[in-house]
Structure 1
Amino acid sequence: MFRWFESRLEPYPPEQPAQPPRGLLAFCLHYMQGARLPLATMAVLSASIALAEVMLFAFLGDIVDWLASANRETFLADEGPFLVLMAAFVVIVIPVLALFSALTIHQTLLGNFPQRIRWMAHRYLIRQSMSYFQDEFAGRIATKVMQTSLAVRETVMKLLDVVNYVVIYFIGAIVLVALTDWRLMLPFLVWLAAYGAVLSYFIPRLGKVSQLQADARSMMTGRIVDSYTNIATVKLFSHSTREETYARESMDEFLKTVHRQMRMVTILDTSITTLNALLLFSVAALGIWLWLGGAMTAGAIAVATGLVMRFQGMSHWIMWEMSALFENIGTVRDGINSISLPRMVGDAPGAKPLGRVKGHIEFRDVAFTYDRKGQEQSRVIEGLNLDIRPGEKIGLVGRSGAGKSTIVNLLLRFYDRQAGEILVDGNDIATVTQDSLRANIGVVTQDTSLLHRSVRENIKYGRPDASDEDMIAAAKKAEAHDFILGLADAKGRTGYDAHVGERGVKLSGGQRQRIAIARVLLKDAPILVLDEATSALDSEVEAAIQSQFNMLMEGKTVIAIAHRLSTIAAMDRLIILDEGKVVEEGTHAELVETGGTYARLWARQSGGFIDVDGAEEGGVAAQ
């Protein structure tokens, strides 16, 4: 039975997620898709239980009146059939309704519904543009996904379950009281109006505070995670105290919202307790007065006072539920600001997969500027024309800021060019799927980051379906196999099963780089990008794998970036960039002979490095 209800809602919908709408209601409705039947079932069951509980008070009034006037000797004979129906209603109908309501809520919705939202939100965000992740804390984004999924669940379920239950219950109760005597209904209506006024004043204000609190909580989490992620830098510069202050600033902001929220709650709680006391007094006084005048029976007074006692308990429960509802609404609104953002780089409608290419790359009149939130920026790339033949090995040369890494970022479609075309084998890369484009490009960057998983998983990330034999062969080519066999982690896993820590922190820079090289070797893409690929390696290791690089590059189109010109001097062609434009091109010997920009850079090198003065801004491959 449990499994049947647990399988009524798919937690991992297969449909490709679309951008969620920005409006609160539309956002919630977007994530309710596929879950509307169990949500509607929950609402119907909730309303049925509310009506059933109101009917119990009507039964109570009837029983009191019967007991006050009935003949004990004929009571069972006269009222027996109705008592049996009442017993069946209490013992069978109400528990069955409660069972199906509990199964729908706990088995079908509470677990599957937020998991479904997390899955949809994660799948949408994992395909967000690079700039999205560069502008936010990773921990903050993750917190928003976790908080928002639970907040949407609570918002939707409280509206359909709690609010629905309360509205039906209150209406049913007031109708029941009115049927006994319309005058007895008046205190309930006055109380309901005052109660609604109190809630309408405080709850929206609590919602606004909760939105600020959700943002402050995610900022606090983001700062703490940022410190943990960069713990090596924190310790290297002896800044533990500074990080404490950095975290405490966000904690203080969070605590301010908590204090503000709790002050409102105290006033709200006191106001509702006062209203409840006035309701009890007025209903009891009015009921006794009507009974003294013979206008009301004892059973009617029992029903009315019983409902007042029930209202007293429910009013505080509703207060907390409504406070939680608006707190969750505030969290959802905060999450919308992070989740419901358009993808800056997306697949064009009808984009087709790009098959395995030969590697012909063309840049035609390409222009690009990094968007810095509306600030005026000079173009990083302007009128770039570059034709790279299949199998050609080129080196991009220029000071930092010349546009080398930007060219790579545009080829990978981490950003979209603002003018011109970029073609791969004659296909405009803006018209093919991003995944299929990047499947054709292998990249080894200067700043290598590994997944917090096993060495095996990291290397096979290049080609998940590869055999262990192919994986080991790639590791050997990258001069990584021997040190991998000596690895062990805190849980006793060794060799290729050892985990490397977050971003590969358990390995040295050279070890991380060699695993990254093995990953690209295994991927065996027809286009290869080397962005300072050997910068983290010592001279002995670099010399050892240089021949493997030559083999890796064989038959591939290669784009190499290096400040150490000696590492790219043997390329088929060198492209010299300055301010986003090609100023020279040719072989190393040709460019040295002409005595231009490249020749000056070569002559100025100390130890084989370009004199770097400035910083190129932008993508993940930026130097």
Structure 2
Amino acid sequence: MLRYFESRIDPVALPPAGGPPAGLLAFYWYFIAQAKGLFAALFVVGMVAALLETAIPYFIGRLMAILTEVPREQLLATAWPTFAMMLFVVLVARPLVMFLQRAISNHGISAGLNTLTRWQSHHHVIRQSLGFFQNDFAGRIANHVMQAGSAVRETALALMRSVLHILFYGVAATGLMMAQDWRLALPIFAWFCLYVALLAAMVPRMRERARYASAKRSAVTGKVVDSYTNILTVKLFARTSDEDRYVRDSMIEQHDAFLKQHRLNTLFTVLLNGLNAVLLAAIGSLSVMLWQQGTVEVAAVAMVLPLTIQIISMSGWVAAEIQGIFENVGTVQESMGSIARPQTMQDEPGALPLTVTGGAIRFDAVRFGYGRSDRMVVDDFSLTIRAGEKVGLVGRSGAGKSTLVSLLLRFHDVEGGAISIDGQDVRAVTQESLRQAISVVTQDTSLLHRSIRDNILYGRREASDEMVKAAAEKAQAAAFIPGLQDIAGRNGYDAHVGERGVKLSGGQRQRIAIARVILKDAPILVLDEATAALDSEVEAAIQDSLGDLMAGKTVIAIAHRLSTLKIMDRLVVLDEGRIVEEGTHDQLIASGGLYAELWARQSGGFIVSPKGMPLNQQAAE
């Protein structure tokens, strides 16, 4: 039976179209609507449970009436139907309803809705643009995704099990009191009005303080994760004390926010306890006075007092639930800042997969300035790269070389002009197909905290183990992989590399990244300082592999070590986002322009001849 409830929600169901909305209620409904059948069932069961709770004080009153009115020798003969009904409610109906309530909430909704909210939030967030992640802490975003699931779940369940419960119970209890004497309901009405007023005055302030505390907690998490992620830098610069101050200040702010939140909670509890004490005294005094006047029987007093005590007990429980509700509402509001944001780099309507026939690339009057019209990083840039041509981009730092690669990969959209591959505008094709057609090796390579095998297989998921090992051989990585071992005792290709690959040296990480690209075997290859992290001996060996890898592909290579670009068919020299020179290495040296100036400042490294033979050549001045 429990498995039935547990299978009502698919925790990894694909999200509805459009992504989580920005409005608070709409955000909640986006997830709750996917489990509305279970919530409807919980609503009905909760209503029945509240009514059954009022039956207990009613039974006490009825029992007192029977015991005072029926002679002892006739008790069972006269009252057995009433006793049987009471026993059925107490022994069968109430436990069954409580079981159903728990099965629906705990087994049907709790785990399923929690995981569903986290999964669909992650599904939306991971499809955000690169800039989205560059403008925030990764730890803060992750914290928002994780805490949203439990906050949405707890808000919805608390509303169902507390607010609605006391509403149904209060209505039923008031009805029972009015059936005895309408005046008995007056203190309940007055108490309820004051209770609602207290909630209205305190809850919004509690919600804002909860939201503020949640924001401070996320800020602490983001800073802690930032310190841990960059622990090598922290250690290299001996900045542990600085990181202490960086995190300590945020923790103090979070601590102060937590105290302010709980001061308000304590004030609310004190006021509620005072209100409840007045209610109990009023109901007790009024019921005794009415009994003394002969208006109500002692059985009514026996029923009214337990009803009042239960209402008082529930009011504290409901108040705690409401505090939790608005703490969770504050958490959801804070999380929505990361989750409920439109995806800025989406495929155009009707976008088709990219079809690469040769790999020709065309930049046509491209302009881009990261949203700043007063300073273009790339300005009126036009370049045609023929299918299979190998082009090197050269220029000082900040000239726009890496920006052009980002635009080609559509990490950003051009602000003017167009970029096309084989005549297809990159904005008109799906991003998945665009990036599948382009292999990129960068200087700052980070690996996933998974096995060596999984990292290489990122290039092509369906590749066999033999293909993985062949790619590692070509990337000059096969020699060191068998000697790797992680803390869990996994060896070789099964060894995990640590976060961002920190357990490997820079050269080892680069060789794994190159193996991944070799396995991918995309028709367009981008090399952005691909061998800068390698020593000369390994670089010379990998240059041979890159020579094979570049064969038959369209290549864009960026390198500050200019000697590595000498084998390119053509070099394009950039300055302030524009092309200032173009030609072969020899032509540009002869022209005496910017390229010749840059070349003169460097000494040659390993240069690969057109036949793939490394030559150790000193730079000419």
TM-score by length of 2: 0.95
1:542 & 1:31 partners in 2: Cα distance?
Answer: 52
Q: 1:350 to 1:252 in 2, by over 3 A?
A: same
User: Are 1:146 and 2:146 counterparts?
Assistant: yes
User: Are 1:155 and 2:152 counterparts?
Assistant: no
Deviation at 1:580, TM superposition (A): 1.1
Q: Aligned residue for 1:26?
A: 26
Deviation at 1:56, TM superposition (A): 2.5
2:52 & 2:308 partners in 1: Cα distance?
Answer: 17
User: Are 1:87 and 2:74 counterparts?
Assistant: no
- Helix, strand or coil for the counterpart of 2:214? helix
2:494 & 2:14 partners in 1: Cα distance?
Answer: 31
Q: 1:157 to 1:408 in 2, by over 3 A?
A: same
- Helix, strand or coil for the counterpart of 2:283? helix
Q: Aligned residue for 1:349?
A: 349
Q: Aligned residue for 2:298?
A: 298
Deviation at 1:264, TM superposition (A): 1.0
Alignment of 1:168-567 (within 5 A): 168-371=168-371, 377-567=374-564
- Helix, strand or coil for the counterpart of 2:308? helix
Q: Aligned residue for 1:615?
A: none
Deviation at 1:83, TM superposition (A): 2.1
Q: 1:2 to 1:377 in 2, by over 3 A?
A: farther
1:341 & 1:321 partners in 2: Cα distance?
Answer: 29
2:351 & 2:244 partners in 1: Cα distance?
Answer: 48
| Kept in 2: contact 1:181–1:296 (CA 8 A) | yes
Q: Aligned residue for 2:577?
A: 580
Deviation at 1:203, TM superposition (A): 1.3
2:238 & 2:539 partners in 1: Cα distance?
Answer: 32
1:286 & 1:376 partners in 2: Cα distance?
Answer: 77
Deviations 1:30-64 (A, max 9, x none): 12232111111111111110111112322221111
Deviation at 1:231, TM superposition (A): 0.7
| Kept in 2: contact 1:474–1:522 (CA 8 A) | yes
Deviates more, 1:115-124 or 1:150-159: 150-159
Deviation at 1:15, TM superposition (A): 4.4
Deviates more, 1:405-414 or 1:29-38: 29-38
1:487 & 1:16 partners in 2: Cα distance?
Answer: 43
Q: Aligned residue for 1:9?
A: 9
2:42 & 2:476 partners in 1: Cα distance?
Answer: 60
Deviations 1:462-508 (A, max 9, x none): 11110010000000000000100111111111110111111110110
Q: 1:258 to 1:48 in 2, by over 3 A?
A: same
Alignment of 1:91-110 (within 5 A): 91-110=91-110
Q: Aligned residue for 2:127?
A: 127
Deviation at 1:202, TM superposition (A): 1.4
2:115 & 2:244 partners in 1: Cα distance?
Answer: 34
User: Are 1:76 and 2:76 counterparts?
Assistant: yes
| Kept in 2: contact 1:280–1:309 (CA 8 A) | yes
| Kept in 1: contact 2:361–2:422 (CA 8 A) | yes
| Kept in 1: contact 2:525–2:553 (CA 8 A) | yes
Deviates more, 1:173-182 or 1:120-129: 173-182
1:423 & 1:201 partners in 2: Cα distance?
Answer: 60
Deviation at 1:354, TM superposition (A): 2.0
| Kept in 1: contact 2:364–2:383 (CA 8 A) | yes
Deviation at 1:16, TM superposition (A): 6.1
2:378 & 2:16 partners in 1: Cα distance?
Answer: 34
2:573 & 2:439 partners in 1: Cα distance?
Answer: 23
| Kept in 2: contact 1:364–1:384 (CA 8 A) | yes
| Kept in 2: contact 1:209–1:260 (CA 8 A) | yes
| Kept in 2: contact 1:38–1:109 (CA 8 A) | yes
| Kept in 1: contact 2:393–2:401 (CA 8 A) | yes
Q: 1:143 to 1:17 in 2, by over 3 A?
A: farther
Deviation at 1:158, TM superposition (A): 1.8
Q: 1:530 to 1:16 in 2, by over 3 A?
A: farther
**Residue identity opposite 2:78 in structure 1:** D
Deviations 1:423-477 (A, max 9, x none): 1111111111111110001010010000011101111111111001000000000
| Kept in 2: contact 1:152–1:332 (CA 8 A) | yes
Deviation at 1:119, TM superposition (A): 0.7
Deviations 1:379-419 (A, max 9, x none): 11111111111111000011111110000000111111112
1:151 & 1:592 partners in 2: Cα distance?
Answer: 64
Q: Aligned residue for 1:619?
A: none
| Kept in 2: contact 1:370–1:377 (CA 8 A) | no
2:550 & 2:75 partners in 1: Cα distance?
Answer: 99
1:160 & 1:424 partners in 2: Cα distance?
Answer: 55
Q: Aligned residue for 1:614?
A: none
| Kept in 1: contact 2:162–2:317 (CA 8 A) | no
1:435 & 1:298 partners in 2: Cα distance?
Answer: 77
Q: 1:16 to 1:536 in 2, by over 3 A?
A: farther
| Kept in 1: contact 2:469–2:478 (CA 8 A) | yes
- Helix, strand or coil for the counterpart of 1:525? coil
| Kept in 2: contact 1:357–1:440 (CA 8 A) | no
1:322 & 1:523 partners in 2: Cα distance?
Answer: 54
1:396 & 1:306 partners in 2: Cα distance?
Answer: 84
| Kept in 2: contact 1:394–1:558 (CA 8 A) | yes
Deviation at 1:596, TM superposition (A): 2.2
2:472 & 2:142 partners in 1: Cα distance?
Answer: 33
Alignment of 1:17-56 (within 5 A): 18-56=18-56
Q: 1:71 to 1:224 in 2, by over 3 A?
A: same
| Kept in 2: contact 1:121–1:339 (CA 8 A) | yes
- Helix, strand or coil for the counterpart of 1:558? strand
| Kept in 2: contact 1:381–1:403 (CA 8 A) | yes
- Helix, strand or coil for the counterpart of 1:481? coil
Deviates more, 1:130-139 or 1:91-100: 91-100
| Kept in 1: contact 2:363–2:384 (CA 8 A) | yes
- Helix, strand or coil for the counterpart of 2:541? helix
- Helix, strand or coil for the counterpart of 1:592? helix
1:15 & 1:286 partners in 2: Cα distance?
Answer: 56
Deviates more, 1:94-103 or 1:456-465: 94-103
2:50 & 2:277 partners in 1: Cα distance?
Answer: 24
TM-score by length of 1: 0.95
Deviation at 1:161, TM superposition (A): 2.9
1:598 & 1:249 partners in 2: Cα distance?
Answer: 49
Q: Aligned residue for 1:569?
A: 566
1:589 & 1:32 partners in 2: Cα distance?
Answer: 67
Deviation at 1:262, TM superposition (A): 1.4
**Residue identity opposite 1:405 in structure 2:** S
5+ residue gaps, structure 1, are 610-623
The percentage of aligned residue pairs carrying the same residue is 49
**Residue identity opposite 1:183 in structure 2:** R
2:307 & 2:108 partners in 1: Cα distance?
Answer: 32
1:17 & 1:521 partners in 2: Cα distance?
Answer: 36
